[in-house]
Amino acid sequence: MGAVGYALKPVQRDHLVSMIESLGAKAEQTLRRVLIVEDNAVQRDALSKLLSSHDVETVGAGSAAECISLLAEQTFDCMVLDLSLPDTSGFALLETLSEAGMHSFPPVIVYTGRVLSSEEEQRLRRYSKSIIIKGAKSPERLLDEVTLFLHQVVSELPDEQQQMIRKARN
């Protein structure tokens, strides 16, 4: 759920020191990586343009299988997920990632056009940090949420993104 790593007690001093050093390296990392899981290529490209900046790199996946493959190979700081995927539902993907205990299961923002029942929303809350329904104001809200998850300072973002975040917060 976004942890950099873990250790089981009792922990050897050398192992603890190396974990703290890797945590420090993670904190100093300037380039943040966002995985966008969206089956619609046009929408995926638009989200990539919205979220990309000098210190944010986006990687797209068009299916659940592609998402799982990318998460197995690479580390991401955040994942934006559409629930409608060609090979499985977003619900099933989140459950698979959770059960597999994958090392790289970043914080998830669900970004969907579906209207969710309260039962579906409750089910999603177990795996995702935020749920955004696509609409007129949703790009601004998505940018605001991703900025929060990436621990970015709003004043260091490009002017256009700063304006969008101010608009979402107002």
pLDDT at position 1, please?
42
pLDDT at position 66, please?
95
Structural domain of residue 111, as residue ranges? 33-131
Distance in angstroms (rounded) separating the CA atoms of residues 99 and 67: 15
Is residue 6 in a domain?
no
pLDDT at position 153, please?
66
pLDDT at position 64, please?
93
Is residue 89 in a domain?
yes
What's the farthest any 2 CA atoms get from each other in the chain? 53
- In 29-158, which residue ranges form alpha helices assigned H by DSSP? 41-51, 64-73, 90-100, 118-125, 138-149
Is residue 116 in a domain?
yes
- Beta-carbon contacts of 6 under 8 Å, excluding residues fewer than 6 positions away, are none
CATH code, domain with 98: 3.40.50.2300
Is residue 159 in a domain?
no
Is residue 26 in a domain?
no
Assess whether pLDDT exceeds 90 at residue 54. Answer: no
Is residue 126 in a domain?
yes
- Name the DSSP letter for residue 134: -
Which residue did the predictor score with more confidence, 53 or 148? 53
pLDDT at position 102, please?
59
Do 62 and 91 meet the contact criterion of CB atoms below 8 Å apart? Answer: no
Is residue 162 in a domain?
no
CA dist list (Å): 48 to 72, 95, 120: 21, 25, 27
The count of domains in the chain is 1
Residue 107 backbone dihedrals phi, psi, to 5 degrees = -60, 140
Assess whether pLDDT exceeds 90 at residue 151. Answer: no
Is residue 127 in a domain?
yes
Residue 168 burial (C-beta neighbours within 10 Å; 0-12, 13-18, 19+): middle
Q: What average pLDDT does range 134-153 have in this prediction?
A: 75
Among 1, 30, 6, CA closest to 150 = 30
